[in-house]
Amino acid sequence: MTDVHRTIDAVWKLQAARIIAGLTRMVHDVGLAEELAQDALVSALEQWPASGVPDNPGAWLTAVAKRRAVDHIRRSRRLEHGQGRLACELERQDREHGSGGDTEQDDVLRLMFVSCHPVLPTEARVALTLRLLGGLTTEEIARAFLVGESQIVRRIAAAKRTLAEERVPFELPGGPELAARLSSVLEVVYLIFNEGYSATSGDDLTRPELCLEALRLGRLLAGLAPHEAEVHGLVALMELQASRSAARTGPSGEPVLLHEQNRGRWDRLLIRRGFTAMLRAREIGGPPGPYVLQAAIAVCHAQARSAEETDWARIAALYGALARLLPTPVVQLNRAVALGMAHGPAAGLALVDSLTGDPALRDYHLLPSVRGDLLARLGRLEEARLEFERAASLAGNVAEHAFLHRRAAEIPVPAASGPTLGQAAREFLERGGLDAGTVRSYGQTLRRLRLAVGDRTPLASLTADHVARAFNAAWGEAAAATWNRHRSAVRSFGAWASMEHLAAGLDRRAETRPRTRGIGPAQLEVLWDRLDLPLRERTLWRLLHESAAGVTAVLSLNVEDLDLDDRRARAGGSWVSWRSGTARLLPDLVAGRTRGPLFLTDRRPGPSRVPAQADLCPETGRRRLSYERAEYLFKQATRSLDPAGDGYTLRRLRYPT
Amino acid sequence: MRYLMTTKASGTAPDEKLYAAMAEFVEELTTAGVLLATGGLEPGGIRVTSSGDGITVTDGPFAEAKEAVAGFALVEVRSREEAIEVARRFRRIVGDGESVIQQVFGS
């Protein structure tokens, strides 16, 4: 990169959020706004090397991008209505919103809500937020998350498409929606921070640039939504955690545990900022939310001048409160650590032991690591060593892996007492006579068992209880056939090792085809009565229910395939037929159309998105409704009916109740 | 990465307009999470010199007052170029004069 390019990059990163937010207000489409902003950036890259960097580069970029937006709106309006009074209108709009700081800031906040919208999968929210609010390039995002750039490009493109299709409005959510939407934004920011703070993969323990990015997003959010206690809680939490980043790694990149850190290396400036944010959160008041509670825990650590002075009883109590709000196994695990410090290792171990069967923690290296620590403090060294080894084999991060390995190695190995589980498993698989498929299948079972119990556990000490725990965590919820396959692998291994009792805790499961349950008649009645929902949705649902045809087949129907009189339509090689409920709705949905997709999106695709000809309505220019979109709408509409609160899948309409 | 920007005293007294523009700039950078700390410094100050075993404490003002630092800003940015861009915007507001930006190591 030349100097000018680096300058352009810097200006862009500082201004991207404001520029894109301003453009989105004008064109009402985040994807388009970003494309227009990119155009302005390209102009800068073309012109600045020759003309020099303008005096006010940020204003230059903003002005060029706005001009592009006006041109774009003119072009598209000309297509629709002829020239019109667009220029005046835009100027008036611009004057009304003015360049007043508040509106500009509100626009940035709106942009944040859009890029963290719950219609998007979490990964897409993260990528889009870094792109739109942080001004990062797709290459930078890919590097930060150690994935290929093309994957990020696809992820962002899909996110923009979804936002356009869902017609996510550029607005500040209000009322009851606000809390949910805000928590989605906070989640994205904290995810970015955590990926930077404790990299889940790769060679380095942290990726400071991601922490910085998240901190900036958090501080920005606190400035934009100053009356939300949780926002300040999150900022406090991040500032306080970031204050320890220099002390968290040793000279050769190894992690240094909190109680061994040199507190002199904690960043006092960030600690003070964290305390200030915490004070703001407290001033706003209300019952503390999860971020405020986590920040309060971080405050306890920051206030302790030495590890010994840490108020573990208070921390344990705060984790207790947090566990009531967020009863996740990871929170419980942290609570166990605090309990172990406040009330002795036995108290901690009791809680940890209750978590070992939790499938969510199956591959979580910190579970055996915490357990090993508590066992070591109880003097149960041999067990502790095995736990550290198991933790090391689960850690995805190189620095952590080495650290856990060393902790295991520090505990002396007792005299050899027969083969270990790892040795026995290898011998079992490598003896002759097994075909490749069996070796692979048995290998899977034993690998899981070795991860769960520890490779170096002496085979003789392996019990049926170990095996049963490992099975329940790994395949407790799996299909019966899967369970049985692994069970027979263990039985075979047990027979070979003369330890037939190993599978004693594993019952053979009856294999029946899982049946997708239909939706109850009362609930269907509620659904059919929802006249407030769009006609398209009601027709699609009725048709699925009455025809019992596949969702894809029904969505692929074209108007010309319909035989309204005979209540049937040709779909591929077969027929989809319906009854009176659908028949009443269909004519209105067809509404005089003679051909093209039966179920259409609400609006025409953007200029950069050209669907296949067969998926475009020749009369309206709109495209075929996608499975994802249809599924999403149905889930939304049935969320209140579903006892689990998730909403139903469309497939369930096809099944009898 | 963090940069410390120090600014030398300028001969001219700031007016209302400059104060307002500065306040807006500081607010924007604080909200954006870029500006971590900022402050103005008293002219002169106290000089502490060590030489051999002796330590001398001298009250200001000093002769070379024009070279003295009058204010500082600690910013957290992604790159050297961002630090320069922030400084550029600052200089555009305050008019003639000079600032120095230096990366802060170990943070």
CA distances to A618, A652, B9, B12 from B62, in Å: 83, 84, 13, 19
At A528 the pLDDT is 87
Q: Is the pLDDT of residue A643 over 90?
A: no
- How confident is the model over A299-316, as pLDDT tens digits? 999 999 888 899 999 999
Mean pLDDT along residues A595-624: 81
Any chain B CB within 8 A of the CB of A349? no
At A403 the pLDDT is 86
Work out the minimum CA distance from A139 to partner chain B, whole angstroms. Answer: 15
User: HEC profile for A155-207?
Assistant: HHHHHHHHHHHCCCCCCCCCHHHHHHHHHHHHHHHHHHHHHHHCCCCECCCCC
Asked if A105 and B82 come within 8 Å (Cβ–Cβ), the reply is: no
State what percent of residues in chain B have pLDDT above 70.
93
- How confident is the model over A133-144, as pLDDT tens digits? 999 999 888 888
Residues of B in contact with A273 (CB under 8 A): 36
Any chain B CB within 8 A of the CB of A568? no
Asked if B85 and A10 come within 8 Å (Cβ–Cβ), the reply is: yes
- Measured in degrees and rounded to the nearest 5, phi and psi for residue A392 equal -60, -40
Any chain A CB within 8 A of the CB of B91? no
- How confident is the model over A278-307, as pLDDT tens digits? 999 999 988 999 999 999 999 999 999 888
A155 close to A123: Cβ distance less than 8 angstroms: yes
Work out the minimum CA distance from B78 to partner chain A, whole angstroms. Answer: 7
The architecture (CATH level 2) of B2-104 comes to 2-Layer Sandwich (3.30)
Residues of B in contact with A220 (CB under 8 A): 31-33
Q: Is the pLDDT of residue A236 over 70?
A: yes
If pLDDT is split at 50, 70 and 90, which confidence band does A358 have?
A: confident
Any chain B CB within 8 A of the CB of A9? yes
In this predicted model, which residue has the larger pLDDT, B101 or A89?
B101
Any chain A CB within 8 A of the CB of B104? no
Asked if A14 and B85 come within 8 Å (Cβ–Cβ), the reply is: yes
Q: Is the pLDDT of residue A523 over 70?
A: yes
Mean pLDDT along residues A510-516: 67
Q: Is the pLDDT of residue A330 over 90?
A: no
Mean pLDDT along residues A93-113: 73
Q: Is the pLDDT of residue A101 over 60?
A: no
CA distance A501 to A425: 16
A641 close to A648: Cβ distance less than 8 angstroms: yes
Q: Is the pLDDT of residue A439 over 80?
A: yes
At A455 the pLDDT is 81
Instruction: List, in order of start, the domains of chain A with CATH numbers.
Output: 1-99 (1.10.1740), 421-505 (1.10.150), 521-654 (1.10.443.10)
If pLDDT is split at 50, 70 and 90, which confidence band does A87 have?
A: low
Any chain A CB within 8 A of the CB of B105? no
At A79 the pLDDT is 67
Q: How many beta-carbon pairs below 8 A join chains A and B?
A: 59
State what percent of residues in chain A have pLDDT above 70.
92
Q: Is the pLDDT of residue A210 over 80?
A: yes
Of A11, A56, A220, the CB nearest to B33: A220
Q: In sequence order, what E strands does A84-177 have?
A: none
Nearest CA in chain A to B93: A56
Asked if B82 and A14 come within 8 Å (Cβ–Cβ), the reply is: yes
Any chain B CB within 8 A of the CB of A494? no
Q: Is the pLDDT of residue A235 over 90?
A: yes
| A435-439, A513-517, B101-105: least confidently modelled range | A513-517
CA distance B19 to B26: 10
Residues of A in contact with B93 (CB under 8 A): none
Who's near A223: CB < 8 A, 6+ residues apart?
A: A105, B30, B31, B32
Asked if A269 and B36 come within 8 Å (Cβ–Cβ), the reply is: yes
B12 close to B97: Cβ distance less than 8 angstroms: no
3-class SS of residue A567 = coil
In this predicted model, which residue has the larger pLDDT, A603 or A494?
A494
In this predicted model, which residue has the larger pLDDT, A596 or A358?
A596
Q: Which two tokens stand for residue A398?
A: 């190189």
* ipTM of the complex as predicted: 0.78
Work out the minimum CA distance from A306 to partner chain B, whole angstroms. Answer: 21
- Measured in degrees and rounded to the nearest 5, phi and psi for residue B7 equal -125, 135
Of A215, A267, A273, the CB nearest to B107: A267
